[in-house]
């Protein structure tokens, strides 16, 4: 198995083999908490208008969205795992539009297999990848490395697990802890996103399912895959 790393939307666009598109804070942590709480599926969309239209078409759908990391005034559910847990998602689909994670997912058109990655499903994602015995795995950290180093940390963590070791996650997350963005998050200075989001997003291996992404007539569909 050969493992390569890529960054951002451009990296996702060029990704090949089994591709894991990573967004820790918060898109694919939101997806995991939604599925764990009983959501039927998550639909991943790049454009906000498209997300609104899709949510309107799907019976009982909830729309979770942000633009440039900020909540949207007329959409009560932002890109927040805390809010998703409070929203009552059981037996309902969740439509997601974010500025990093879903953009990377939409761009990853060259993938043979596609997974959404975050720390809360890390070990399960690795187990699913190993089961398929791919020749090439591309780990895409969607967030800008200087402001979103948690995505790169997750990619390195996944790489270590794939290679049979268990990296020091606290060390890998050190660059995140040093950012002003992290301080804003834990001091409740980021509008629309509760402090509890951080703990939820960094709860490594909280869930025992992977999150494969497939395409159908409605677009990108993310579901839970048990080991």
Angle value at C-alpha 218, between 6 and 118, nearest 5 degrees: 35
pLDDT in tens, 8-53: 999 999 999 999 999 999 999 999 999 999 999 999 999 999 999 9
Q: Where are the domains positioned within the chain?
A: 2-208
Distance CA 172, CA 22 (A): 15
Cα 29 to Cα 56, 73, 117, 203: the distances in Å are: 24, 22, 8, 9
Residue 214 three-state SS: strand
Whether the full predicted model's pTM is greater than 0.85, yes or no, is yes
Query: Cα 123 vs. chain centroid, distance in angstroms?
Result: 14
Q: Which CATH number fits domain 2-208: 3.20.20.80, 3.10.129.10, 3.40.190.10, 3.90.1560.10?
A: 3.90.1560.10
Please determine, for residue 153, whether its predicted confidence score (pLDDT) is greater than 80: yes
Q: What is the pLDDT of residues 169-194, one digit of tens each?
A: 999 999 999 999 999 999 988 888 89
CA gyration radius for the chain? 16
Mean pLDDT of 215-225: 97
- Size of the chain, expressed as the number of residues it contains: 227
Tokens of 38: 């009983």
**pLDDT tens per residue across span 93-114:** 999 999 999 999 999 999 999 9
194's CB contacts (< 8 A; 6+ apart) are 80, 82, 83, 188
């Amino acid at each position: 198995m050969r493992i390569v790393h890529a960054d951002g939307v451009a990296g996702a666009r060029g990704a090949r083999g089994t591709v894991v598109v990573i967004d820790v804070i918060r898109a694919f942590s939101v997806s995991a908490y939604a599925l764990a709480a009983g959501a039927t599926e998550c639909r991943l969309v790049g454009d906000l208008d498209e997300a609104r239209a899709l949510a309107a078409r799907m019976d009982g759908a909830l729309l979770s969205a942000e633009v440039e990391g900020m909540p949207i005034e007329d959409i009560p559910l932002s890109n927040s795992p805390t809010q998703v847990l409070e929203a009552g998602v059981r037996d309902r689909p969740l439509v997601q539009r974010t500025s990093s994670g879903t953009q990377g997912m939409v761009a990853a058109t060259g993938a043979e297999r596609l997974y959404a990655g975050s720390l809360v499903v890390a070990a399960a994602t690795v187990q699913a990848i190993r089961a398929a015995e791919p020749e090439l795995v591309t780990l895409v950290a969607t967030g800008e490395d200087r402001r979103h180093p948690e995505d790169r940390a997750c990619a390195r963590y996944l790489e270590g697990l794939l290679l049979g070791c268990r990296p020091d996650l606290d060390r890998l997350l050190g660059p995140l802890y040093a950012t002003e963005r992290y301080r804003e998050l834990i001091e409740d200075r980021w509008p629309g996103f509760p402090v509890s989001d951080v703990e939820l997003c960094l709860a490594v291996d909280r869930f025992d399912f992977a999150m494969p992404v497939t395409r159908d007539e409605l677009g990108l569909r993310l579901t839970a895959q048990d080991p």
